[in-house]
């Protein structure tokens, strides 16, 4: 190549390298940045719920024995309407408002069972025990079982389900 | 700093040698038609990347396939872009690969010692068509359902073995969940595995043999 066509700054080879690298990075960014959004966008849409769930007449629950009440809520996740099941332990005491525990273990969200013989809630995942009042007896849970806010309408028992 | 890191890695991995072999090869004076192989490779890589991304949301069952794609198009941010690239890239890849083949044919570049490169290339073209055929069913809409009905019916016209081939394609006598899942498996595992191996061979041969020059009066 005659010297008058030569750039004093860089040779042809480094020019091509720089152009290739910058065009390549631009293309990668144009595709790459949307990919992040593509991945995380379903995680950003929070589905909140704020419902009062009817547990029926409070007289259906025995005194002094935590009794499981199961209910299901339908939610739309992606394109699918999924039915999520919940459990609530109702503990009635003479002359007091009933206490309603969530059956979700406060450790890592397994479901707890009531063991009537030992009078304890038991979580099988990591051997966690809670007392009848939901206090941690032993095991890894950081706090007592969560309690639902309740409402009594005559003899009708409602719990407040809030999420999100 | 960067040079030190590169130097350390290069000493152990031989990066410079790889770079020189793959990118600093000697090439004859060529023209733009010679870029179509690289273009096909680029599009193939894009199909791989966007395909992996689509599999984040796509579900290959009759219950969910159509709905999951509708969700990709309307419910996921930039889902339309990822699927759009996969959709249009597929057609474009067939186009670039086909013109690449025509270039090789008309320049006589398939001749000695590059016959095996040609054979691997034809294998890749067939694989690309197979990817097109299997991918077409995955949206599980009316068009893909009937296209696959017709496509497998055509395979059924092969003498003697036709009915057997059709049943193997469909995984039974009818289009069903079995058809969808086996097409999906072909589309994301089996054909890509073959493509990967054959593309590797194809590129190895291109590097090993170099590319042929444009034919002149002497050749």
CA distance to partner chain B, nearest, from residue A95 (Å) = 51
φ, ψ for residue A37 (rounded to 5)? Answer: -60, -40
**What pLDDT is recorded for position A164?**
57
Q: Which residue has the tokens 């031989």?
A: B14
Residue in A37, A79, A80 nearest the CB of B77: A37
pLDDT band, residue A5 (cuts 50/70/90): confident
Partner-chain contact A31 B49, CB within 8 Å: yes
Q: What residue of B is the nearest CA neighbor of A27?
A: B46
Both structure tokens of A97 = 């408002």
**What pLDDT is recorded for position A9?**
85
**What pLDDT is recorded for position B217?**
86
**What pLDDT is recorded for position B81?**
94
User: The complex's ipTM?
Assistant: 0.84
Please state the length of chain B: 219
% of chain A exceeding 90 in pLDDT: 66
Cβ contacts of A34 on chain B, cutoff 8 Å: 77-78, 81-82
User: Which domains are seen in chain B, by residue range?
Assistant: 39-209 (1.20.810.10)
Radius of gyration, alpha carbons of chain A: 30
**What pLDDT is recorded for position A1?**
56
Q: Are A90 and A55 in contact (CB under 8 A)?
A: yes
The rounded mean pLDDT for chain A is: 90
**What pLDDT is recorded for position B52?**
97
Could you say which residues of chain B have pLDDT below 70?
Answer: none
């Amino acid at each position: 190549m005659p010297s008058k066509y030569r750039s004093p700054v860089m040779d042809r080879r480094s020019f091509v390298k720089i152009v290739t690298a910058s065009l390549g990075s631009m293309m990668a960014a144009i595709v790459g940045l949307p990919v992040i959004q593509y991945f995380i966008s379903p995680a950003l849409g929070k589905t909140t719920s704020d419902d009062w769930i009817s547990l029926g007449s409070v007289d259906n629950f025995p005194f002094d024995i935590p009794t499981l009440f199961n209910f299901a809520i339908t939610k739309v996740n992606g394109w699918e309407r999924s039915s999520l099941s919940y459990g609530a332990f109702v503990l009635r005491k003479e002359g007091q408002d009933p206490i309603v525990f969530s059956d979700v273990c406060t450790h890592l969200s397994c479901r707890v069972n009531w063991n009537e013989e030992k009078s304890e809630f038991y979580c099988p995942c990591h051997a966690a025990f809670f007392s009848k009042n939901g206090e941690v007896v032993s095991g890894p849970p950081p706090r007592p079982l969560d309690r639902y806010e309740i409402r009594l309408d005559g003899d009708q028992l409602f719990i407040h389900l809030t999420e999100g | 700093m960067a040079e030190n890191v590169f130097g350390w890695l290069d000493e152990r991995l031989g990066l410079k040698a790889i770079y020189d072999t793959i990118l600093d090869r000697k090439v004859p004076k060529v023209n733009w038609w010679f870029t179509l192989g690289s273009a096909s490779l680029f599009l193939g890589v894009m199909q791989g990347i966007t395909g992996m991304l689509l599999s984040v949301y796509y579900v290959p069952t009759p219950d969910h396939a159509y709905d999951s794609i509708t969700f990709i198009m309307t419910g996921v941010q930039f889902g339309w872009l990822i699927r759009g690239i996969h959709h249009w890239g597929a057609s474009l890849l067939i186009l670039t690969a086909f013109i690449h083949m025509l270039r090789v044919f008309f320049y006589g570049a398939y001749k000695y010692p590059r016959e095996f490169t040609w054979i691997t290339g034809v294998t890749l073209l067939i694989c690309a068509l197979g990817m097109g055929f299997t991918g077409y069913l995955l949206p599980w809409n009316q068009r893909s359902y009937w296209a696959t009905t017709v496509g497998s019916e055509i395979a059924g016209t092969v003498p003697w073995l036709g009915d057997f081939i059709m049943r193997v394609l469909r995984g039974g006598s009818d289009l069903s969940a079995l058809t969808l899942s086996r097409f999906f498996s072909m589309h994301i595992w089996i054909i890509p595995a073959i493509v990967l191996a054959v593309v590797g061979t194809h590129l190895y041969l291109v590097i090993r043999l170099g590319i042929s020059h444009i034919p002149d009066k002497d050749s």
